[in-house]
Amino acid sequence: MRTPLIIGNWKMHKTVAEAVAYVTAFLPRVAQVTDVEIGIAPVFTALSSVATAAKGSTLRVLAQDVATEGPTGAFTGEVAAEMLREVGCYGVIVGHSERRRYYGETDAIVAAKVRRTLDAQLLPVACVGETLDEREAGTALTVVERQLRAIAGTLTPDEAPRIVLAYEPVWAIGTGRAATPEVAQAMHRHLRATWEECFDAPAAAALRILYGGSVTADNIAAFTSLPDVDGALVGGASLAPDGFAQLIQRSQVASA
Ligand code: PEP
C-alpha cells in the first residue's frame, strides 16, 4: 500500500511573511485529510519559518534544491543537505526540469544531489521528464529511463525505498497542457518496471511515483485514480491555500 503524496512546489514565489501566512491558512483546511501525505517546497529563505509554522502538524517541508557537496566547504552560494535538515526540512526536490534546463543540471549532477540528500537522512523527490522535442521524436521512454537509471545507480538496494520519483513531462509544466492520463500511466508503468530491473519486485511495488505538469483541482482525480500514479507535484495550483487544499481533497476522493 503506497500512501499518496502531494507536494506543492512554490518555485521562486512568496516572501517569508507570505509563506507563513499561507501555512496558517492552509493547515486548518487540510486538518481532516489523513490518508494523503502533504508537502510544500518554499524558497530557501522561508524554509525555517515555514517549518516552525508547520510544527505539530503532519505537513512536510521540502527544499527545491540542494548542493552536490557537503556537509560544508568552499562552495559559494550553495546550501548543504545537512543545513536543510537543521532548519526542519523533510526532503528535497532534486533534478526539477527547470534546474536541468536553466542551470545545466546533468544526470550526474542530479544523481550527486540524490546521494547528498540521502546521506543527510532526507527524502529525495527526484524528477524526470522528457521535452516536447523528445516526445515528438518518439524517445520519451528512453530519455526518461536514462534519467531514472542515473538516479538508481547511486542507490544501494536498501536505499531504494527511501526515494520518491516525480514524472514531469517538460512540455506539461506551467503550460496548462497536462499529460493525458494514458500518457502518464504508460510512463509511470515503464518507470516502475525499470525500477524492478534496477532493484527487485518489492522495491518496484513500494516506489511512489508522482505525476507533475499542470495538475489542478479539476484534473487531479484523473491522475490519482491511475494504478501507477501515487500523488502529484504541483506548481501553480499550489500557490493559494484554498485551491491547494481543494486539490488535495479531490485527490482523496479519487483514491478512496
Ligand atoms: C512543477 O513546478 O513541478 C509543476 C508541475 O508546475 P505546474 O503544476 O505549474 O505545471
| Ligand 1 atom, smallest distance to 238 CA | 8
- For 151-182, what is each residue's pLDDT tens digit? 999 999 999 999 999 999 999 999 999 999 99
pLDDT tens string for the chain (256 positions)? 899 999 999 999 999 999 999 999 999 999 999 999 999 999 999 999 999 999 999 999 999 999 999 999 999 999 999 999 999 999 999 999 999 999 999 999 999 999 999 999 999 999 999 999 999 999 999 999 999 999 999 999 999 999 999 999 999 999 999 999 999 999 999 999 999 999 999 999 999 999 999 999 999 999 999 999 999 999 999 999 999 999 999 998 544 4
Instruction: Give the whole-angstrom CA distance, residue 215 versus residue 202.
Output: 29
DSSP letter for each residue of 148-215: HHHHHTT--GGGGGG-EEEE--GGGTTSS-PPPHHHHHHHHHHHHHHHHHHS-HHHHHH-EEEEESS-
Q: How far away, in angstroms, is 73 Cα from ligand 1 center?
A: 32
The three cell numbers locating residue 163: 526515494
Q: How far away, in angstroms, is 212 Cα from ligand 1 center?
A: 6
**Is residue 233 lining ligand 1, measured as CB closer than 6 Å?**
yes
Sign, CA dihedral 136-100-177-149, equals positive
55 assigned to a ligand binding site: no
> What's the pTM value of the predicted model, to 2 decimals?
0.97
Q: How far away, in angstroms, is 22 Cα from ligand 1 center?
A: 18
10 assigned to a ligand binding site: yes
Residue 13 appears among annotated catalytic residues: no
Residue 190 appears among annotated catalytic residues: no
Could you give the C-alpha distances from 238 to 1, 42, 69, 88, 171, in angstroms and in order?
26, 11, 30, 20, 19
Three-state DSSP state, 230:
coil
**Is residue 228 lining ligand 1, measured as CB closer than 6 Å?**
no
Instruction: Give the whole-angstrom CA distance, residue 96 versus residue 75.
Output: 21
- The one-character DSSP state at 69 is S
- Measured by CA distance, the residue closest to atom 4 of ligand 1 is 235
